[in-house]
Structure 1
């Protein structure tokens, strides 16, 4: 069965989550959290990442990462394996700390970076752990709005620059932006599956480029797309060659997550043919 793709390219931005095995805690105390900070600091330096935001909960963490070198998987392998080693040594345990593979979706930076950053730092509030994001010291909120010096691996300039070139003004606007989200719905509230967060144009452009220069790898099929193109949009062009049609079928199936039955019904093709096309390299 066709599976979704983990898209990698220089400059890609991702929201990343990784959860404890069997939903168990991955941070028991502040010492564990500081050990994670030390680990991710090394990973960010080694892999030339940019960390725009983060939030450490008890049994999972959130990161907002930009990868100038298009090396998400390499860095995540180092981060999770190295932190697991540190955790197991500290607590005299063995085995898997984290639950399977990390989850990620790629973000259209210009449109959704701020929304995702807000989602991250509001996690402790939505989980009813604290009443205000400033009360949770294990997120990037305080550093971004100037209430603390922050961790050295965090880069706040990218987010603040989207508000104002004046840093003090940008920090105030950032605070208000975060607070404006306290009583609104999360952008992910109605979304169960993750894959891409972007406009239809962004998604379509990524698919076109993936045929040329993107590096991709398979990820679990349950990871899908937010804001995906409709089948009407994907197949809107008439008179295309069979090769072009087949590429569009693979786009609909693999990247956008449509079922074989949905595509076959739309194109008036047999499910067997659509399934065969979807499996082609």
Structure 2
């Protein structure tokens, strides 16, 4: 499968997921989970990024990160190398710890920022482990208990979206966290895209552009927006692709694709 260029976020904010190689558990015990959190704290001290949220599961982890002095690719590379070295030494093993590249999606507005964080915190409930407030290895309790851990987490950015009054913001945060959502996120995309025929997608896009006399490079231009939107809908209808895979196929960011799909519902 070809390796696509990562879509860039105009806000510098990304929802990132890392998974254990061959989907194996790489955050096996409390020490492992504590270590990845300590690694985040260590790297954040160098002002490489802001961290808005996290959830560490046994075989994968979610992070909500804003680039500061470095790019998301370099940030995640350093985090990954540091943890992999620790993990291999501790468990007396060699080889890859993480599965391929990390997954990421751009976060372009405040509504999606809140939705992503809610999704990250709901991972333990989705996995039928425990309620979000009973899970030790996510940032949820840091938010709802008003804990100040500026070396690790930047909670003010999220809470200030809801209210300038901290108590009211925390109340609204709890309320929002309990609401249902039908938005697709990274790991749902993983499952949906697992058996996709890449050649069929490329041929479909090429034929569409040829018939409509549009070059790939001009698909993003304003005057071709209507044709772009029709292609997005066609890819969804024909292959039931995730927003991530549509974005990779035509070089359009996920947030734009999400808005187009929602407008055609």
Normalised by the size of structure 1, how large is the TM-score?
0.66
Aligned counterpart for 1:193 among listed residues 189, 192, 202: 189
How far residue 48 of structure 1 moved from its aligned partner, in angstroms, is 2.3
5+ residue gaps, structure 1: 195-221, 223-230, 236-241, 263-277
Q: Does the 8 Å contact 1:47/1:71 carry over to 2? A: no
5+ residue gaps, structure 2: 191-195, 197-204, 222-227, 239-249, 251-265
SS of alignment partner, residue 93 of structure 1: coil
User: 1:37 maps to what in 2?
Assistant: 37
Distance 1:27 1:2 in 2: 29
How far residue 108 of structure 1 moved from its aligned partner, in angstroms, is 1.1
Distance 1:81 1:190 in 2: 22
Distance 1:170 1:42 in 2: 28
Distance 2:61 2:146 in 1: 22
How far residue 69 of structure 1 moved from its aligned partner, in angstroms, is 3.9
Relative to structure 1, is the Cα distance of residues 3 and 20 closer, same or farther in structure 2, using a 3 angstrom cutoff?
A: closer
User: 2:65 maps to what in 1?
Assistant: 65
Relative to structure 1, is the Cα distance of residues 101 and 142 closer, same or farther in structure 2, using a 3 angstrom cutoff?
A: same
Q: Does the 8 Å contact 1:13/1:109 carry over to 2? A: no
Distance 2:234 2:72 in 1: 25
More helix by share: 2
User: RMSD in angstroms over aligned alpha carbons?
Assistant: 3.5
Distance 1:147 1:77 in 2: 31
Relative to structure 1, is the Cα distance of residues 150 and 26 closer, same or farther in structure 2, using a 3 angstrom cutoff?
A: farther
User: 1:117 maps to what in 2?
Assistant: 117
User: 2:241 maps to what in 1?
Assistant: none
User: 2:136 maps to what in 1?
Assistant: 137
More relative contact order in 1 or in 2 (CA 8 Å, sep 6+)?
1
Aligned counterpart for 2:218 among listed residues 248, 251, 257: 248
Mapping for residues 260-279 of structure 1, pairs under 5 Å = none
